[in-house]
Chain A
Amino acid sequence: MTKQFLFDGQPVEFEDGQTILEAARAAGHYIPHLCWHPDFPPHGSCKLCIVKAGGRHVSSCALPAREGMEVESNTPEMNAERRALLQMLFVEGNHFCPSCEKSGNCQLQALAYELEMATARFNHFFPDRPVDASHPDVLLDFNRCIFCELCVRASRDVDGKSVFALTDRGIHKHLVVNAESGRLGDTDFSVDDRAANICPVGVILRKRVGFALPIGSRKYDGAAISVVAMKEGE
């Protein structure tokens, strides 16, 4: 007999070892996320996938599903928490969607729409984060980094290069490039690396592309991220 738990009141089947997020997705239920990616182990850093299980707030990407568990996800309470997390991510960096070439393809922006984030709520930090354009084919715009570490993981675990890392702690945490100069141009990073094509926001960008694809025909322009993510398996 298959095992089940209740997801927003509906029974969801799961197999041993599946996380709440994996099982929910397999059953057609979207849970917002930023640092989770189907090709990588759970990371649990962005906390967007937070759900209430057994009265506790937990990261659904990391917690294995259990028989009879009652999970609340798409509720005003959980969505308010997710919205607050998004608002903190927005004020912590410099996110100027109107002139960002990732607009329409950006998961942070798409989630802000999905979760109806209408204001920044908190004071902007306006950090000073110069861009790194030293690589011939790739631009790094650190202003938009949300510390999901997908590039760190992809470069280390798939590309075998370990080009990226996070350094410092707490509010001083930031993305760095593994080179003596600290510049991407001084690494063996390639535009074809997995790490070059995994950033959910607008940090790692292929140079000289910009707005070649019109706004209006981009990934999240026509449908909400909750629809696109389920359809495309991301």
Chain B
Amino acid sequence: MDFELETAQNRERLRRVVIDPVSRVEGHGKVTLLLDDHDRVREARLHIVEFRGFEVFIEGRPYWEVPVMVQRLCGICPVSHHLAASKALDRVVGARPVPPAAEKLRRLMHYGQILQSHALHFYHLSSPDLLFGFDSEAGRRNIVGVAAEHPEIARQGVLLRKFGQEVIRATAGKRIHGTGAVPGGANRHLAVEDRDRLAQDAPQMVEWSRAAVGMIKRLHRADPGLYDTFGTFRAGMLSLVRADGALELYDGVLRGRDADGRVLFDGVSDQDYRSLICEQVKSWSYMKFPFLRAFGPEQGWYKVGPLARVQNCDFIPSPLAEAERQEFVAHGGGAPIHAPLAYHWARMIEMLHAAEVISALLGDPDLLAGPLTAEGAHAREGVGIIEAPRGTLIHHYRVDDDDLVSMCNLIVSTTHNNQAMNTAIRAVASQYFDGRALTEGLLNRIEVAIRAFDPCLSCATHALGQMPMVLELAKADGTIVDRVTRG
């Protein structure tokens, strides 16, 4: 399954089906399917059609500008880029460690980011599919439809996201594209009034996050035939973990497991990521395909993000989320859960963890006072790795003698999941498409599989809701034989 549907033989004789653009994901991509005369899928590809070029235009810029410039990659998770770059540049300015106030402010900002992004993805982007069904009327499958039918769920989703964004505003200065972190630390303390206001709302956020885990758990258990098998494929997992094996999203060491859950490597420093990971380029997508160097491109691909993280760690260091993790692991019966739809369950466990971490951190006096930056012997290179909402995010910079960036390598979360998403859509296409006439619901299944990974396809623009979509089935000579439109 992994690669057998990547490139069909005799491609010119097959019919081409295109889903363009993929909707309710961040960024712009398309899916192409090639079908034979018996409507069997022979090729399925997720193409990323935007080219960004950040790695190149960062070069030649002063390093202290980078955390602010590079976060413009994304409007959903700018904090992740902001912090990954800052962490990499902490190495350059010799700030190891940064002062406690800065470390905790950044951590608070990051967990605010995790909370708001997970809420956005679950409530705004995915809950319409999960609550109404994949074949439901397309016009209803959006957050407005959810608000009409489940007003309390929609309200909680909106307010959870708002809370996360307020945490970001209080620590970074703005809800989107703030400037809180600088190489070597942070540039502001948390204001007492912000602390008090957030602390007042935090318990409610924990409760609503618990309810969200409960909801996805009920949906999962109500239809295990769907949730456990839809687009399922086996793959290894990569994430940061804390040195003691705890779930850790801000700073840690790299750990990888194979598809059976066996630890392949552990305790690898973020500075050594290149000893583990290579990237492959394919002619049909602007997104690279990373793989584990030791296993090669065909065997070494893996998945990242909530499903990987929740199963890669040994425990979650907050009580409510840890109880939920144990229940999740028990659902797998001792084996790793690979079902793409289980990403939603794992994501909500992480959202609960984020709410717990924020709640606990807000009581820490270090956020309010103390030195904000540190500096030591400067270095010419640094790597910063963070667990962004969508998965492991790697920023790597080299800086020349004049303080200008001479090399930049970014491996964003969605890139790690490139092969995994392609494999998922091939699994769905094989499960649901073979020999059937095209319908809008069928089409949506491909997108449901992609959405489970919460991809940020350009890591820039948020394409939300009713994107216009045309699905055409054409003969090899170009004659249109079937056409479905939406939006």
New A-B pairs, 12, CB < 8 Å, besides A98-B72, A99-B69, A215-B174: A101-B68, A133-B402, A139-B62, A207-B64, A208-B64, A208-B93, A210-B64, A210-B68, A211-B182, A212-B373, A213-B187, A215-B178
Contacts of A209 on B, CB cut-off 8 Å? Answer: 64
Q: Name A residues whose Cβ lies closer than 8 Å to a Cβ of B.
A: 96, 98-101, 130-131, 133-134, 139, 185, 207-216
Contact check: which of A98, A130, A207 meets B62 at CB < 8 Å? A207
A-B contact pairs, 30 of them (CB 8 A): A98-B68, A98-B72, A98-B177, A99-B68, A101-B64, A101-B68, A131-B60, A131-B61, A131-B62, A133-B62, A133-B402, A133-B403, A134-B402, A139-B403, A207-B403, A208-B64, A210-B62, A210-B65, A210-B68, A210-B183, A211-B64, A211-B67, A211-B179, A211-B182, A211-B187, A212-B182, A212-B373, A214-B173, A214-B179, A214-B187
Contacts of B404 on A, CB cut-off 8 Å? Answer: 131, 133
- On chain B, which size bracket covers the interface? 20 to 34
Q: A213 to B187, alpha carbons, bound, how many Å? A: 6
Write the nearest CB–CB distance from A96 to chain B, whole angstroms.
8
Q: A212 to B182, alpha carbons, bound, how many Å? A: 7
Contacts of A139 on B, CB cut-off 8 Å? Answer: 62, 403
Write the nearest CB–CB distance from B343 to chain A, whole angstroms.
32
Contacts of A130 on B, CB cut-off 8 Å? Answer: 60
The main secondary structure of chain A at its interface with chain B is loop
Q: Is B27 among interface residues, defined by CB-CB distance under 8 A?
A: no
Q: Is B384 among interface residues, defined by CB-CB distance under 8 A?
A: no
**A-facing residues in B68-111 (Cβ within 8 Å):** 68-69, 72, 93
Q: A100 to B68, alpha carbons, bound, how many Å? A: 8
Q: Is B180 among interface residues, defined by CB-CB distance under 8 A?
A: yes
Q: A96 to B54, alpha carbons, bound, how many Å? A: 14
Chain A residue nearest to B93 (CB atoms) is A208
Write the nearest CB–CB distance from A215 to chain B, whole angstroms.
5
Write the nearest CB–CB distance from B9 to chain A, whole angstroms.
45
**A-contact 0/1 string along B401-434, CB 8 Å cutoff:** 0111000000000000000000000000000000
Q: Are A216 and B72 in contact (CB under 8 A)?
A: no
**A-facing residues in B28-78 (Cβ within 8 Å):** 60-62, 64-65, 67-69, 72
Q: A98 to B70, alpha carbons, bound, how many Å? A: 10
Contacts of B93 on A, CB cut-off 8 Å? Answer: 208
Contacts of A216 on B, CB cut-off 8 Å? Answer: 173-174
Q: Is B188 among interface residues, defined by CB-CB distance under 8 A?
A: yes
Contacts of A134 on B, CB cut-off 8 Å? Answer: 402
Shortest 8 CB-CB contacts between residues of A and residues of B: A210-B64, A99-B69, A133-B402, A211-B179, A214-B187, A215-B179, A216-B173, A214-B188
Q: A208 to B399, alpha carbons, bound, how many Å? A: 13
Contacts of A133 on B, CB cut-off 8 Å? Answer: 62, 402-404
**A-facing residues in B162-201 (Cβ within 8 Å):** 173-174, 177-180, 182-183, 187-188
